[in-house]
Chains A and B, each alone.
Chain A
Amino acid sequence: MSTQKNETNENHIDMNTNNIIEIQNVTKRFPVGETEFTALSNINLKIEKGEFTGLIGPSGSGKTTLLNLIGALDIPSEGEILISGKNVAVKSDAKSALLRNEHIGFIFQSYNLLPVYSIFENVEFPLLLQKKSKAERKEAVMQALEWVGLSDIANKKPSQISGGQAQRVAIARSIVKKPDIVLADEPTANLDSTNAYKIMDILKKLNEELGITFMFSSHDSKVIEYLRRVITLEDGKVKNDETK
């Protein structure tokens, strides 16, 4: 019983801490054949709640790797990643899943909708994991689809909609559970500029109205225009960190 309680406590994010993400001396190495490749070396960053921040830098500079570490999809070789003061690296598979489920949303470059499910069902999925009631789910899904302006296509399949629409569905899916953090890995890379701007407008509005912390990775100038803080990575190191 007491373990149960601890678990819940551990996954509860303390909103009084201002630094929602803290990256301390993080190095990530990947085994490559016999040797190792250092994708990130000695990164130190603090992200405050409500930030609209982007990691920029050329392809291969370590942006995705860093986002994966923040989302506890991978663990650092050295250093610590704290989400609201709690080290995510030491969490078990189940606990890191729970952390993502409750606090983190993901948006990918390729929208990654599940093809056999309808738009509604795709957005509903995170709430099923949270064991929300049917009524709660329906309300939250419709609201999320409204935020991204797609309430009218809820019953379509991913194959029946455009790329811009698909990415908006992915956004709805990432924010339907009202997460604290959304990690968006090159969200506009597959979109034309009209759609890219539309997406960034939506994300900015969500940041302002819902207070969700956004962390981007991108080398798209259209994304960079919107960012309030730009962290430049190069060869796995922070080269520049600038708040507008």
Chain B
Amino acid sequence: MFEFLFKGLIRDKSRSLLPVIVVSLGVSLSVFFVGYIEGMMGDMVDQNARFGTGHMKVMTREYVKNIAQKPLDLSILDAGDVIDDLKQKYPEVDWVKRFNFGGILDVPDENGQTKTQGIAGGMAFDMTSNNSDLKRLNIADNIVEGRMPKGPFEMLLGQGLAKRMNVKIGDQITYFGSTMDGSMSFQNFTYVGAVQFGLSVMDDKTFLIDIKDAEQILDMEDAVQEIYGYLPNDIYDDQEIEEIKNSYNQSFANDEDEYAPQMLALRDQNGLSTMLDMVNTMSSAFTFFFIIAMSIVLWNTGLLGGLRRYTEFGIRIAIGESKRDIYKSLLLESVIVGAVGSVFGTILGLILTFYLQEVGIDMSDTLGNSNVLFSNVIRAKVVPTQFWIGFFPGVMATFLGALLSGRGIFKRQTSELFNELGV
């Protein structure tokens, strides 16, 4: 009997091919959507992690309270000890020092008079040694003029800032600012290169120096403003980060010191938590909406197919099949169609996602700039979820469609099915 139904299903293209195509398309869209969201979220997480938040970040408690101001005077004082402790507790995590501070940059002319001047934000990380942060931030590949700093007191400028300051490679730039404890500080730097971040806020306002220079001009030799932590291979893992954060903060639970270290996870910063949760909710809402929409489409195709098939049902009833068995066979058919469509759709969706993961769609031509730190390439990411998620809309929608359209068999009087036979 199953063989008989299956033969019919295969031979009647409007019952098999058409719904399989509809399901495949719908499923591939849902599967791709998941990959796209993951990719987008991944990019967002990645960029934040690299420049602003780390996967997690350690500061003093007082600093955390005023985190928006990035107050230097509330920095961690015994940086070496704190980092050693972190490295011992979580050896798999890469712990790095970072500074973000403000100041005035002044470019003098040949007579030592100010030629140009501007307020800028400095960012410092370990640049000279061939370390992980250097690779992570990948500044070297985004230098549009000059080179990376090699010796002490060399400075990189954001592309826009360099233009505004009207500097040439080799020019002197004087930094004016204040040290950690508030005294006046100034230092001459050599301008060695310009960086394109691809984000105008950063291009127009940021200068980069090595961490040792920063420690010196801010008078923070064994202090650090923020310690960033990255999971192995920089792969973001919400749960693991949360665990590390909780265990670390727990270890200071009994410490009353307001300058004791405190760890924040990526999602605790920049409102990322809301963002990430929103994306997750959106993603589930989309999948749910998709099931409904596809059910309606398939219900309608099912309904049309059903009407056309009332002749067949009538004959089968006359020959001695019960309405219930016919209904069951319809549902079985729908599950087969749904499963086959889901398999094809999942494969298609994964291929699409994989393409966008490996190749991406480069938007930089449209946006007018190439070679930037902040990605202009739309990327997706293949995640395990994609292997099964499509079966929900795929099988559920076809099943629901058949469930609804097949009810007509019962609603109609048997003799009415026959009158439609033109008996």
Contacts and interface: CB of A to CB of B under 8 A. Distances in A.
Interface of A: 64-65, 68, 71, 73-74, 93-94, 97-102, 104, 106, 108-110, 112, 114, 116-117, 121, 124-126, 128-129, 131, 173, 185-186
B278 interface: no
A99 B312 CA distance: 19
A57 to B, nearest CB: 16
A93 B311 contact: no
A116 B12 contact: yes
B415 A101 contact: no
A123 to B, nearest CB: 11
B254 to A, nearest CB: 72
A117 B421 contact: no
Given A74-B414, A97-B323, 6 more contacts: A65-B415, A97-B317, A97-B322, A116-B12, A117-B4, A125-B4
A73 B415 contact: yes
B321 interface: yes
Contact of B322 (A65, A94, A117, A126): A94
A110 B318 contact: no
A101 B315 CA distance: 12
A112 B324 CA distance: 21
Highest count of chain B CB atoms <10 Å: which of A73, A74, A185, A186: A73
A128 B4 contact: yes
A71 B318 contact: yes
A173 B315 CA distance: 11
A152 B82 CA distance: 92
For the complex of A and B, list the 8 residue pairs with the smallest distance between their C-beta atoms, beginning with the closest: A101-B320, A97-B322, A74-B415, A100-B320, A116-B11, A106-B318, A94-B322, A73-B414
B68 to A, nearest CB: 70
19 contacts: A68-B418, A73-B414, A74-B414, A93-B323, A94-B324, A98-B320, A100-B320, A101-B319, A106-B318, A108-B318, A112-B421, A116-B7, A116-B8, A117-B4, A117-B7, A121-B7, A124-B4, A126-B320, A129-B319
Interface string B382-423: 000000000000000000000000000000011100100111
Which secondary structure characterizes the binding site on chain B? helix
Chain B contact-residue range equals: 20 to 34
B1 interface: yes
A73 B319 CA distance: 11
A114 B415 contact: no
Nearest to B5: A128
Given A64-B423, A110-B422, A116-B12, A101 B321 contact: yes
B1 A128 contact: yes
B320 A68 contact: no
Interface string B1-41: 10010011001100000000000000000000000000000
A133 to B, nearest CB: 13
Contacts of B1: 128-129, 131
A112 B414 contact: no
Contacts of A104: 320
A98 B11 CA distance: 28
Contacts of B418: 64, 68, 73
B421 A114 contact: no
